[in-house]
Every structure is written in C-alpha cells, then in structure tokens.
Amino acid sequence: MKRFILTGILTCSSFSENIQFINGVDISMLKQVEDNGGTFYENGIQIDPIQTFSENGINTARIKIWHTPTLIYNNLESVLEIAERASFASLDIFLDFHYSDTWADPSSQTKPSAWEGLNFETLCDSIEQYSSHVITKLKDQNTLPRYVQIGNETDCGLLWPDGYVCNESNNDYQWNKLRELFQHAINGINSVLDIQDTLRIISHVSSGGNWFFNNLLGHGFDIDVLSLSYYPMWHGGLSDLNQNIQVLVNNFQKPVLIAETSYPFTLQWNDNTNNILGSNTHLLDEYDASEEGQFLFLSDLMTVVKESNYGFGICYWAPDWISTNQFGSPWENQALFNFDGEL
C-alpha cells in the first residue's frame, strides 16, 4: 500500500527566492527503529527511507540531539551517523538541540546531568562550548546544518530553573537570563562558521508564541526563524493555526516554520504500546483517520503555510516510527509507512 503521501504536496516556492522552503521530515527515531528490526519497503522491495524521502520531494532532515542520553540514540555519535546518511541523500540538516538528556517540551526542560549544580556563569559557558563542539563535529564531516534550533518547545524557556520564564519567573531578570543562555548557544554555533557558511537560527515553541517571542526578541537579541508545533489534537483546527501564523507574521515579520506536525492514517494499533492518538475526538471533523484523510490534512496544511506572507515550510514528525517486535511505537498510526513498513 502506498504510504508516502508528501510527494507533490511539499513542493512549493518560499516567500523569497533567496530562501529555500523547508520540505522536511524528522528522522530522529530512525536509527533506533532500524536497530530493533524495523525495515521499510516499496512494492515489496526493501528501501532506505532517507533516500526515498529525498527522491519524493523532501529536502530537509530534522534530527534531535540530547546531551548524554541513557541509551545510544540521539547522542552526538548517533546524530553524526544519521546526518551523514541524510547528507549523502542530498538532504539539508536541521539540528534540534534539546539541551537535555531526554525529551524537552513545554512541561519539562531538565538540564543535562553534567550541568546540574553549575552556577549561571558556568552554565552559560557550558552551553556555548557544547554547542560549538557539536557543530564542529558536524562541520568536520561535511554535514554542517543549514538550520539549528535552540531548544525544543521552549514555551517557558530552557535549562530550568535558570532559564525558566513562566508564572512567578515571568520577570525582566529571568528573561535576561534566558536571552543570555540563547546568546551563548548561538555564539558557540557561530564560532565554528567560516564566512561562506550559511546557517539559520530557529526558535521553537509548541503553539502560540506571541508572548514568548515578544519577550525574547529585542534588547540586542535576534533569531532568524520562528517555529511552531502543530498537532490538531492539542492545537485546534487549521483556522486556529492560520490565525496564529498571521499574528506572528504581523508582529515580527519573520519566517514562520511548522517544525513538527502529523496526522493519523488509522486509529488501529499494531503493538501493545499505547498510541498517543487513538480516538475520534483527536481528529479534525474535515479529515478522517485514513490514508486519504492524512493526505488531505497535509495538503491543506501546506496551503495555509505557503499562503501566509512568511511561510517557511513544514517538518513531518517521526514519519518512520513504525513498531517492531522489539521496539514499540506510540506514533505508529501517524507514520507515513503502514504497519508493515510499506510505503
């Protein structure tokens, strides 16, 4: 069954001829899936999904990096390996720094264990040196990212509590600290670049963003691209997203990227791992949980993004996170391959 549905959707021009529209997929889970027996097919023939993405209009591979994870995945060595494969397939690299040993999101921005207990000055130095080290390693193997994301879904900041800016910490003192952490990370990245290198810095929140970016930007601090996650079960319909994008465009006149999105092709399960999305209440009325519904959702999403004045592209999250006998997937019904790994 044909599961790769982005062909012909993610092929549109950007708001500027000088800026490539991101037609992206986040392949951070791929190595772990493959190491646990996951295989991918087209018409019954085994394929390399990265090469197949490239052949079907994808131009960018988003890859997350954790500082010192418990397992061997999403660490620097793993990122270097997957980046090399993506680059070989002619994909641009979009690096997603979580600045944590595990998932970073609006509810959790836990410091790497190696940075626990550091005073703020040393923490700033650590994020700068670490960022520089990672980018150096990628540049040395000729896989310098085209895009780098500073933190993941940083709605309330990163590296808590030092960079926490919500609730009682929503004050000038904490915002100054957060800007300083961002700036040190960017300084570390820029320290590696030669004059001919082109790299765009991205800031990412889960939704909204007006309050966060309004406080983050300014005071001599700036970034290149604003980005959002968009999952209908949490963030509403496409009209809500369109309104969100227009507010950001009107207020900041910066490129806006959908850094993460997905939609189910079924509500069925293939393993014993609870799927994150499994109820009709999680769906938009206009799109059912089917291959066609998934296709129409992505087509309409792309229209919303490309018709905004500063639409920069989308990245589909975990299109390859299928379940295997050894490795469950809570995302299997939102992948772009079916339960048998078939395209």
- For residue 286, the one-letter residue type is E
The structure tokens listed for 151 are 């933190």
H-only helix segments in the chain: 30-35, 49-55, 76-88, 120-140, 172-190, 210-216, 232-235, 238-252, 291-307
Cβ atoms of 132 and 192 closer than 8 Å: yes
**Pairwise CA distance, residues 252 & 204, whole Å:** 14
Neighbours of 312 (CB within 10 A): 27
Cβ atoms of 126 and 163 closer than 8 Å: no
Cβ atoms of 6 and 316 closer than 8 Å: yes
CA distances 109 to 1, 5, 64, 163, 277, Å, are: 39, 33, 14, 9, 23
**Pairwise CA distance, residues 233 & 242, whole Å:** 16
- For residue 105, the one-letter residue type is D
Cβ contacts of residue 203 below 8 Å, gap of 6+?
A: 149, 150, 151, 154, 182, 213, 216, 223, 225, 226, 227
Q: Catalytic amino acids? A: 153, 260
Beta 60-65 vs 92-97: how paired, if at all?
Answer: parallel
CA distances 306 to 7, 105, 207, 249, Å, are: 16, 26, 18, 13
